[in-house]
Amino acid sequence: MSDFVLNTHTGENNNVNFRAEILNAIRSFEISQEQLSGLLSVSSEKLEKILNNEDVHLDLSEERLIDYRISFLSEGFSIVEPLARLRMIIDSVLIDRYSFSHESLAKYSNVPFEVFEHFYNGGDVEKKYLVNICVHLQMLVFVLTNNPNNND
C-alpha cells in the first residue's frame, strides 16, 4: 500500500486537511483525542501531529478511513434529517448495492408493503411501523456492511 505525507500546512496531497474537522469534533461533541484515535483508527502520535500542524505519514487506508469518518464525527448527523438519511441508505445500500426489492424490504421491516412504499416515497407512517422500518433496515445494513473479521 502506498504511503504519503499529509502536509498539514498547505493541505497538499489530495488537498486533505483533517485538522479543522478533528478540532471541531473535539470541541462540538466532547470527544477526547484518545477516543478519536480509536474512532479514526490512527495512532495517538499521528493524531497529535495532525493537531500540531506537523507533517504526518499516513498510508492510503488510514487516509481513506479518516476521510470517510471525520465529516460525520465533526458535523454530527444534523446535516440531513434522520428519515431522509434512512431513505438515502435504503436507496443507496439496500436497493442499489444489494438489489433488494421494495417487497423484500417491507418483509424485512415487518410492515405491509403499502406502508413501506408510503414511507419510502416520503410519507408519514404510524409510529409502530416507523420503528420497525428504522430498526430492522438499519440492522440489515449493519449486518450486510460489517465484516465480523474486521476489528474496526
Q: What is the pLDDT of residues 85-142, one digit of tens each?
A: 899 999 999 999 999 999 999 999 999 999 999 999 999 999 999 999 999 999 999 9
Longest Cα–Cα distance of the chain, Å, equals 56
pLDDT for res 1: 43
pLDDT for res 14: 34
Q: Which three cell numbers stand for residue 85?
A: 438519511
Given a cut of 90, whether residue 71 has pLDDT beyond it is no
Whether the CB-CB separation of 8 and 53 falls below 8 Å is answered with yes
Domain boundaries, the chain: 3-75, 82-145
SS3 55: coil
Cα 4–chain centre separation: 24
pLDDT range class, residue 35, cuts 50, 70, 90: very high
Instruction: Indicate the range of 6-15, 53-62, 79-88 predicted with least confidence.
Output: 6-15
Residue with cell 499529509: 6
What distance in Å separates the CA atoms of residue 40 and residue 75, rounded to the nearest whole number? Answer: 15
Q: Please provide the average confidence, as pLDDT, over all residues in the chain.
A: 86
Q: Tell me, which fold does domain 3-75 have in CATH?
A: 434 Repressor (Amino-terminal Domain) (1.10.260)
Given a cut of 70, whether residue 27 has pLDDT beyond it is yes
